[in-house]
Amino acid sequence: MTLDMDGSESRAGWPMSRRKMPKYGPGLIPTALDVHRHPEAAAQRPSKDERPRPGRRPPISGLPEIGVIARKSATADLRWLASRAPQGDGNKSVHDAVYGTVPIVRSGILAREFCRHGARAGIAGVFDRSFYLRSGDMFICVGDPAIGNGPLTLIADASLRPSNLGLRPGQPASIVDRRIAIGDTIEFTLDRCEPWRPPPWPVCQSQSRLTDICAAVARAAAAEAPREGFGQLFCSHEQVTGRTPLASLARGPIARFEAWLSGAVRTDHALATAPAPIQGLIGLGPGLTPSGDDFLVGALALLDALTERKVHAALAAAIADVSPASTSAMSRCFLTAAAAGHIGEHLHCAVASVISGKIDSAIAAVRNIGHSSGWDMLAGIVTTLRIVASAAFRFEVPKMSLPQPVQELQIGGTSVRGIVTSG
């Protein structure tokens, strides 16, 4: 089936006399739309060579001939949206039904709050399977189910390719009454949206077992992690043939972080924990979420899973004190969420697999987090786990009770000598 120039449908094999042809004048059919002609100027009659031959129809303004669809994926998305749009009298083609409604089926807790209060927002980035909305310092991600759930994520009910729908950075969006409208193009509704929350952390392996798990994860990551980002941190000095500039820059800040973390996990009192030295890590690396930021997100997630609340709180406080200009606005939003205990589904699965000793599951989960972001997060997980697992066992020394004086009591006429204790 093809589309005629007036938008009506025609089928191959129909005679030309049965097809509707637009009326451009006595026997005139333009070969293309003359974009250089003034709207009020008369159209020029085409020469003999320019007239269409029988059985062929002219292209429109540089586009392929009608019936040839250059971007099939874009057309498929428009058909999908058209199926969700209000139906008319049936005389319009699918290309006329550009406006559509897309239901959101799941939302993270922070994304839900973002949409509940209503705001003016704008598209901050468009990718193959998702796009980001920004309002002030807050970002949320809208995408198809393949991207995974997250605290700042809205999941559509079917496969969606935003880049094929004409969405572009800078487009305004309005969030009103549980609806996100982007111009006159598309609307996302949260009427039947369900909240997503990660499951509880699993029971952690013993401390001695965690040491072996940490080494096994590092070996597996060293064989697969890309050179970009912090991937070389999994390799020993003998394995690294040519260290990247970013990996060289990261050695100093990570060494300072390790020294701080080693002291923090051995400190009994929260007030004695020094601020985390993260100034050299935040913002380190290229991209919307620098490698140093992803490293800290992984560290925060592991500390939360190991219930190292004191150290987690100290690291979160240090992140809150860093200047907003130290990293990108989007990355800072994700860091703030992780500091409050909110992380995405894939990262949660990776950490849960690590502390359960499921190495293959941990590596598989990391593969689903961007190109290098997941490996940068895993570098933070492995570094933190190695320090915590190797820390000296901490026992609370019980307070010695002072000996109480022996007293003589009269019980039922009988004299009894003993120690009187309270309670």
| Model confidence band, residue 248 (pLDDT cutoffs 50, 70, 90) | confident
Q: What is the average pLDDT score of the chain? A: 75
Amino acid (one-letter) located at 59: P
Global pTM?
0.70
In percent, how much of the chain has pLDDT > 70?
65
The band of 385, judged by pLDDT with boundaries at 50, 70 and 90, is: very high
24: buried, middle or exposed (CB in 10 Å: 19+, 13-18, 0-12)?
A: exposed
Domain limits of the chain? 1-70, 94-196, 207-390
pLDDT at site 237: 55
Region of residue 279 (phi > 0: left; psi between -120 and 50: alpha; otherwise: beta): alpha
Residue 410: pLDDT band (50, 70, 90) is low
Who has greater pLDDT, 48 or 155? 155
Reply yes or no on whether the pLDDT at 332 is more than 80.
yes
pLDDT of residue 239: 55
The rounded distance, in Å, linking the Cα atoms of 236 and 301 is 24
pLDDT of residue 91: 40
The confidence score (pLDDT) of residue 20 equals: 41
- Which H or E run contains 142? strand 138-143
Q: Quote the CA–CA distance of 282 and 131 in Å, as a whole number.
A: 24
Q: Is pLDDT larger for residue 239 or for residue 17?
A: 239
Contacts of 5 (CB under 8 A, 6+ apart): 21, 22, 57, 60, 66
Among 18-27, 96-105, 197-206, the range scoring the smallest mean pLDDT is 18-27
Lookup result for tokens 């609806």? 179
Q: How confident is the model at residue 267, as a pLDDT?
A: 75
Q: Helices 373-390 & 245-264, crossing angle to 10 degrees? A: 30
Mean pLDDT of 227-242: 72
Residue 112 vs residue 161, higher pLDDT = 112
Among residues 234, 277, 269, 276, which one has the least CA distance to residue 253? Answer: 277
Q: Cα angle vertex 33, ends 30, 38, to 5°?
A: 110
Crossing angle of helices 373-390 and 207-222, in 10° steps, is 150
E strand or H helix at 156: strand 153-156
